[in-house]
Structure 1
Amino acid sequence: MTTTQPLTTEEAAEAGLLPASHWQNEPLPEDEDDDGASTIGSFVSSTASLSESIFKYRTIHGRTYHSEIGNADSWEPNDAAHIDAMEIAHHNHMIAIGHKLYLSPLEKDKVQKVLDIGTGAGSWAIDFADEFPNAGVIGTDITPIQPSWVPPNCKFELEDCNAEWTWPDNTFDFIHCRMMFGVVTNWYDLFRQAYRTSKPGGWVESFVSCTTFMSDDGTVKANSAMSQWAKVWNAGGEKTGRTFMIYDHDLQQKGMEKAGFVDITVKEFYIPVGVWHKDKELAEKGIWWKMTIEADLEGYLNYIFNVVMGWTPEETAVYAKHLRKEMNDPKIHAYFKARTVYGRKPHPDEVPESN
């Protein structure tokens, strides 16, 4: 990502952003464990060891990131700590949509070739390959952090989804992408390429969450750490040219419609954050989403907050403490929304002739 100048005071005020120093002046309760439920243990990473002579990573405030090559870049770290967090996030995202890998109406015996864009640690691709042993599954990412021990029908390739895709037309029966905010430079172009490389009758599916924490009873207070969360992320996305507001601007459905997909289906999800909800299923979603954020909160914040928005690591660390406190407070009834959108590439006889 191209590093940009921090927002001016006027720009920050217009965006509703509090100064980074604000959080150092806000008192924190002293009778609670600062870590909350974040001490949940570390998943064992099976990531392959790669020679530094082949892949040289950037180090930013002690965390490693994919080396910026052309337009290929990521705001998420690629080190072992974050790979562990990705494993937790994978399970969390399945719970969010009903303990499922996908929602598209796939016919199992007809799925032969599958693409997972922005595969990260590769968990989704591996699980899908296990569920569809007769399908070839390709997971792509710009950084090689995927494990070496995978199902025989699964493989990983280095590919930048923002560049022109290298696969031929009509290749895939199913294309999947999940939580790609802050990554994609042009969502309309992403779905154009997904349409081109899908087989007629193939499905494309995208899941993404909204960054805004809300409450129906006013317990997410103005100027709280939770209320500031979306403001900082969204401002950072504006500065890098890779929006975090996919949900807000309905870019999944709009992108699929413009690309030419049909049978587009939108599924909305209500997700509490934390331990407050009385409904068992929603409480499970809330706990897992909180655990996902806490699994590597500093890693999630490091690039956007410190590099893009110009905070110091110390200021970000104090903000993170406030956020943890709020997420672990059962009196704060925070939630956000998420959305899965899937659509089908029509067969040639379904496409109206152009005038």
Structure 2
Amino acid sequence: MMTELSNGLGELRDLHGRHFNSLNKNYMLPADSVEMKRLNAQHTMLRIALGNLYPENYMEAIVTRLAPMEGETIRICDFGSGSGDWAAEMAATFPHAKVLAIDLAPGLPVNPPANLEFKVADVTQEIPEFINQFDLIHGRCIGNGVKDYPALFDLVHRYLKPGGILIIAEGGAREVV
């Protein structure tokens, strides 16, 4: 899936000919078309490595949690969505769910599913309207912008509905908790 980067929202700053987010100075990777192509490739590689959009050993729990429920809106949130590919594929896989992709910079897959929304925000800062809203929160490769994982996990706990699921994946040698 290819992603176009929208620069019309004013959340980007220019540095040495590259675009960067202006919300979180800790996140030092660019937010331009070159970076979106890298993120597209990273998403494809991780999906192939996992064999799915999420770890196989959690598939039953995730599919059960995201199953349609009478009178209930299923909500999925992708923290640090980047290119938005994971969120778009989840929206296509679970068309009855509302999927929210959040990132520091504007970007959205070309022809996104109707049940996918994109929001520019810093997930390390509290977003009150998210409290008790999500059945599943996903965050992958966001460590570059997270200084305090325990504080982020506290926010995630408040954003998840009771029984909600957090999927987080990070690489590197840095201890996160």
Q: 1:65 to 1:50 in 2, by over 3 A?
A: closer
The partner residue of 2:35 within 78, 82, 89 is 82
Q: 1:62 to 1:199 in 2, by over 3 A?
A: same
Counterpart for residue 133 of structure 1: 95
Counterpart for residue 169 of structure 1: 131
Alignment root-mean-square deviation, CA: 2.1
My pick for the range that moved more, 171-180 or 73-82, is: 73-82
For residues 163 and 56 of structure 1, what CA distance do their matches in structure 2 show?
16
For residues 199 and 148 of structure 1, what CA distance do their matches in structure 2 show?
30
For residues 36 and 4 of structure 2, what CA distance do their matches in structure 1 show?
8
Contact 2:3 2:83 in 1 (8 A): no
The partner residue of 1:94 within 38, 42, 47 is 47
Counterpart for residue 62 of structure 1: 17
For residues 121 and 83 of structure 1, what CA distance do their matches in structure 2 show?
5
Q: Secondary structure at the match of 2:67?
A: helix
Counterpart for residue 47 of structure 1: 4
- 1:260-312 deviation digits (Å, cap 9, x = unpaired): xxxxxxxxxxxxxxxxxxxxxxxxxxxxxxxxxxxxxxxxxxxxxxxxxxxxx
Contact 1:72 1:142 in 2 (8 A): no
Letter in 1 for 2:94: F
- 1:229-279 deviation digits (Å, cap 9, x = unpaired): xxxxxxxxxxxxxxxx1xxx2x3xx5xxxxxxxxxxxxxxxxxxxxxxxxx
Query: Which structure carries more strand by proportion?
Result: 2
Contact 2:68 2:96 in 1 (8 A): no
Q: 1:90 to 1:204 in 2, by over 3 A?
A: same
| Number of equivalences | 167
Q: 1:93 to 1:58 in 2, by over 3 A?
A: same
Q: Secondary structure at the match of 2:125?
A: coil
- 1:67-116 deviation digits (Å, cap 9, x = unpaired): 2x4x455211111111111100001112232x211133211415811110
Unaligned runs of 5+ in 1: 1-42, 212-244, 255-355
For residues 12 and 5 of structure 2, what CA distance do their matches in structure 1 show?
15
Counterpart for residue 86 of structure 2: 124
Contact 1:129 1:154 in 2 (8 A): yes
Unaligned runs of 5+ in 2: none
Letter in 1 for 2:15: I
Contact 1:72 1:160 in 2 (8 A): no
Letter in 2 for 1:109: A
For residues 191 and 56 of structure 1, what CA distance do their matches in structure 2 show?
25
- Answering whether residue 160 of structure 2 is matched by residue 198 of structure 1, we say yes
Letter in 1 for 2:156: A
For residues 138 and 172 of structure 2, what CA distance do their matches in structure 1 show?
19
Moved over 6 A (4+): none
Q: 1:187 to 1:148 in 2, by over 3 A?
A: same
Q: Secondary structure at the match of 1:209?
A: coil
- Answering whether residue 61 of structure 2 is matched by residue 109 of structure 1, we say no
For residues 182 and 121 of structure 1, what CA distance do their matches in structure 2 show?
16
Query: Which structure carries more helix by proportion?
Result: 1
Q: Secondary structure at the match of 1:182?
A: helix
Contact 1:48 1:148 in 2 (8 A): no
- 1:207-230 deviation digits (Å, cap 9, x = unpaired): 11125xxxxxxxxxxxxxxxxxxx
Contact 2:135 2:160 in 1 (8 A): yes
Counterpart for residue 148 of structure 2: 186
The partner residue of 1:145 within 99, 107, 120 is 107
Letter in 2 for 1:167: E
For residues 168 and 118 of structure 2, what CA distance do their matches in structure 1 show?
19
Matched ranges for 1:323-338 at <5 A: none
Q: 1:110 to 1:48 in 2, by over 3 A?
A: same
Q: CA deviation at 1:197?
A: 1.1
Letter in 1 for 2:142: M
Contact 2:76 2:100 in 1 (8 A): yes
Q: CA deviation at 1:56?
A: 6.0
